[in-house]
Amino acid sequence: MKRTVPLMIVLVGGVLMIIQYFIPHRISQDIFDNYTIWVPIIGAFALALGVGSLTRLHGHKVRNKAPNWPYSLAVLLPIYLMPIFAFFVPVSFGGGMDEPGFYHFAFMHIQVPIQSTMFSILAFYIASAAFRAFRAKSVLATILLLTAVIVMMGQVPIGELLGSWFPKLGLWIIDFPNNAAKRAIGLGVGFGILATQLKIIFGVERNWLGGAGE
């Protein structure tokens, strides 16, 4: 029963949505509209569950003084403090970086720099990965290496100074050989998606319901 009901819901819902795509009639549109109303409602409840899970996990660590428990405190405090500050000190338009209010301050001067720093780590890792990966170990690896150099140099003004063909060739590589490969993978992915959806709708794949499906 615990399995059958969700599977039936998925089967009926899935088939209905496939059929709905081909029917422009008002009734069909209403079904779709109802679906779009339900999605955010479920999402809102799931978000509450998510925050609850995070609180339970880190609350547990703080209470038991588990290893690295101060990190858990660093998670819990902003989760609950930021909405409080946002509620009592609303953000108003204009004023740039000098905007008063702790929420805005924390967002602009803590959250944005921290997250931008996380993203900027990518530059370091890309350099390190490029150093390790781009070795002319074979003919194919050499082609990959040269392609990477051309595209990379085409992306920066210094490449243009070395030769105006750099950016043109770089763009050509992105637009044609790259897109050809992408489409080939993309088509496979598309059919993979189709097969996965069908397996789920018709109950062939039940793993998402938990376990190995036996």
Partner 1 sequence: MKENIWSRMLNLDRRWIFLFIGVVCIVPFFFPFGLPVLPTAHVISIFDYVENLGPENAIFVSFDFDPGTDPENMPMAVAVTRHAFSRHIPVFFTANAPLAQGMLESGLAYITNPALEGYFHVVSWQEWAQYRDQGITERDQLEAAWEADGNVLPANSSGWVFEGRDFAKLGYLPYFSLVILGMTSSIASQYPEDMNGNPLVEMPMLQEHKSLRDVDLAATFSGTAACTWWITYGREKIGLPVAFGVTAVSATDYTIFIQSGQLIGQMGGLRGAAEYEVLLQNAGYFDKPDRAFIGMDVQNAAHLLILFFIVLGNIAYFAGGFHKKGALLKGRR
Partner 2 sequence: MTRILPLLLLILTALAAAQTVEQEQQPIPAEPEIAEASAEEVLDIPPGDISPLAGVDLTAPGDITVMDHPDDSGDRLIVSFSPGSEAEYADLFAAYIIYRRPAGGSDEEWTNVGVMPVGEGTQFVDGYDPDFPVNIGESYEYRVSALYLDETEVMGEPVIAQEVASGQWFHQGKVRVLVACLIFLGLIFYFFSRARMGATMYLRPIAGIEAIDEAIGRATEMGKPILYVPGLSDISDVATIASLTILGRVARKVAEYQTSLIVPNRDPIVYTVAEEAVKQAYLEAGRPDSYDPNSVFFLTQSQFAFVAGVNGIMMREKPATNFYLGMFWAESLILAETGSLSGAIQIAGTDAVTQLPFFITTCDYTLIGEELYAASAYLSREPMQMGSIKGLDSCKAILMVFITAGALMSIMDLLAGTQTLSWLKNIVTTQIVD
Choose between 27 and 44: whose C-beta lies nearer to partner 1.
Answer: 44
State the nearest-atom distance from the C-beta of 97 to partner 1, in Å: 7
**Eight-state DSSP code of residue 66:** -
Query: Is 58 exposed, middle or buried, given 0-12, 13-18 or 19+ CB atoms closer than 10 A?
Result: buried
Q: Buried (b) or exposed (e) across 144-182, using 16+ Cβ within 10 A?
A: bbebeebbebbeeeebeeeeeebbebbeebeeeeeeeee
List of long-range contacts for 163-166, beta carbons under 8 Å, 24+ apart? none
State the nearest-atom distance from the C-beta of 126 to partner 1, in Å: 7
The residue from 64, 92, 164, 196 that contacts partner 2 (CB under 8 A) is 196
Choose between 123 and 140: whose C-beta lies nearer to partner 1.
Answer: 123
Residue 16 binding: pick among partner 2, partner 1, none (C-beta 5-8 Å cut-off by kind)? none
**Eight-state DSSP code of residue 207:** G
Q: Return d(Cα 149, Cα 159) in angstroms, integer.
A: 10
Choose between 27 and 158: whose C-beta lies nearer to partner 2.
Answer: 27
Number of residues in contact with partner 2 under rule CB under 8 A: 68
Residue numbers 153-182 binding partner 2 by CB under 8 A: 181-182
| Contact set with partner 2 (CB under 8 A) | 18, 21-29, 42-43, 46-51, 53-54, 56-57, 60, 67-68, 71, 75, 111, 114-116, 118-119, 121-122, 125-126, 128-129, 132-133, 181-182, 185-189, 191-200, 204-205, 207-214
